Structure 1
Amino acid sequence: LPASAPALKALGARELMAHLRGEIPLETAAAAVKQATRNYAKRQMTWFRNRMIAWRTIHAQQSCDFLDLATDYLREGP
């Protein structure tokens, strides 16, 4: 793949390619992918927190009521 290939922009691709080129051991690449994934998840949570008006928390015992909660939310809004 050329270095500019869109697939190489995927999460963890840079670390995996560094391993395949012999630049870092597999364990280091795996740790870097895990850290990159955590960082990405944190950015996503920040993005959502800054854009969502209300979060709905659904507990396990309420899971059967999820459809009703979602329907109410769509009907009434946040």
Structure 2
Amino acid sequence: MAEKVKKTRPELLKQRRALAMFKRFLPTLLLKKQQIQMEIIKVGDQVKKLHEAIETRINEIEQWVSLFSESLPGS
């Protein structure tokens, strides 16, 4: 919810300075936000690839599990 702004000259100057600062830094912050979002997408893709690689390894190993789980003759 918006604050109630005092209608005095010092408050107006304070608000103008704050607005100028926001206008100055907003493009930088938006760019940084976009870079972070792109990095999140990139990391998400890497995680997906790693999960797929793990799943592939598990599928490869499963065929050997039955071989190693057999009891040896004479045991």
What TM-score range do you get, normalising by the shorter chain?
0.3 to 0.5
TM-score, normalized by length of structure 2? 0.39
For CA contacts below 8 A with separation 6 or more, give which structure has more relative contact order.
1
Q: Which has the higher helix share?
A: 2
